[in-house]
Amino acid sequence: MAKTGVFDSDPTVMARATTELKKELQRLVRAIIDDEDYSTETVDQAKDTLLALRELKLRKGSLSMKLQDTLSCPQEFRCPLSKELMRDPVIVASGQTYDRPFIQKWLKAGNRTCPLTQQVLSHTILTPNHLIREMISQWCKCQGIELSDPVLYFNEEGITEADRDHFLSLLGKMSSGLPEQKEAAKELRMLTKRMPSFRALFGESLESIPQLLRPLSEGKSQTGIQPELQEDVITTLLNLSIHDNNKKLVAETPMVIPLLMEALRSGTIETRSNAAAALFTLSALDSNKALVGKAGALKPLIDLLEEGHPLAMKDVASAIFNLCILHENKMRVVRDGVVGVILKKITNRMHVDELLTILAMLATHQKAVEEMGELGAVPCLLSIIRENTCDRTKENSIAILHAICFNDRTKWKEIREEEKVYGTISKLTQNGTARAKRKASGILERLNRALNLTHTA
């Protein structure tokens, strides 16, 4: 029987060892099957032989992936990035050839240049290099090496050449007549929802997103935008923006934010909701927060929030909150009237939890705090603390109250009357979250200090 420990790395020796092990395994298995009184020693030997085969298979796989460690491989067959024998050679826009998984990793990291030439790539489509692939295959046959099938790992996103061809065909239809545009837009919406691979395909070329948006940019200047077509295209944009590697590309495509703003103003309610959701998703990147804010997208978001359609409220609130993490956008939403809009909504007890989160964030902005006080936020917030059972909502309410009261001394009278009748803030110091207790205690300390000064006077 062949040795079951460490095997020689020579392909010929490994092939002979595999044959011997298989013969030995056949003998042992036959002995177990034919002899009812087989020994446990025979079973152990069969197990050891299987383990030896497994070790040999793993070593053979490792050899096929890293041939340069054991064999002299022609330099032109090695990937410039991995320095290993290429299994799936592809050509980038600069004309250089790389192994697909390694150049994909390079591109996914946000690089838009050729690693060898540093040339800026006009697109990121990877074209199979069939000539090099065939030359590598012939060389491996001569060396007695089994080259693993690239289809098994063809693309980390699960993309095949058929997928890519279909994708390009659908994008081509977006420049055709209205029926073809509608059909293609609906299918792209469906594919980008169900298959991450189709989201990734949009990142391979700088022209993909403009092609997708062409019916909206052209339709506006011609016969007007078709509502159904607009909904499918905007929803596809939302699906694309979910893909982390697309966020920067999508937001920086010049026509994207203006078309999302147009959708917020004039689309079906589902289109408007999905446009808000797309802005929320894109704003995960700080650079995108700045782009969206500078483009003026906060005003249509606030207008949609004011309309108060139930289907859109959560997406709009999420987008505004995310965008306001950036200080410059806080100034913009305050200027555009968000404080008054939110106070009306929470007074009517609409989406109180989500909207209070935005107000709590704006409580660090002086102008926002002044507006809250002027627009009657204090009694509204006190009533929410009394009525609401959500700890987070109470915490946000008392944090906003703390900011208002410490900014405007005239509000202390309202707080004093509230404590006399309900003891709202005192109760919060007993049963609130840690942050709520701190804010409530701060208000009470200031209130007591003011009372003591009054009595002394």
pLDDT tens-digit series, residues 225-234: 899 999 999 9
Residue with tokens 């993909």: 208
Residue with tokens 């959560």: 314
Q: Is the pLDDT of residue 52 over 80?
A: no
Residue with tokens 């147009």: 262
Structure tokens at 171: 């994008």
Tally of CB atoms within 10 A around 12:
10
Q: Write the DSSP string, 237-273.
A: HHHHHHSGGGHHHHHHSTTHHHHHHHHHHHS-HHHHH
Q: Is the dihedral of CA 93, 95, 100, 101 positive or negative?
A: negative
Integer-rounded Cα Rg, in Å, for the chain is: 33
pLDDT of 8: 44
pLDDT tens-digit series, residues 243-284: 888 999 999 999 999 999 999 999 999 999 999 999 999 999
pLDDT of 235: 97
DSSP 223: T
pLDDT of 305: 97
Structure tokens at 338: 């968000």
For the chain, give every domain's residue range: 75-143, 166-307
As a whole number, mean pLDDT of residues 393-411 equals: 93
pLDDT tens-digit series, residues 141-193: 887 776 655 543 444 455 677 788 899 999 999 999 999 999 999 999 999 98
* H/E segment holding residue 236: helix 227-242
**435 confidence band (pLDDT: 50, 70, 90):** very high
Evaluate whether 75-143 and 166-307 have a shared fold: no
Architecture (CATH level 2) of domain 166-307:
Alpha Horseshoe (1.25)
pLDDT, averaged across the chain: 85
Angstrom distances, CA of residue 31 to CA of 2, 26, 34, 38, 51? 18, 9, 5, 7, 18
Question: Class assignment of domain 75-143?
Answer: alpha beta
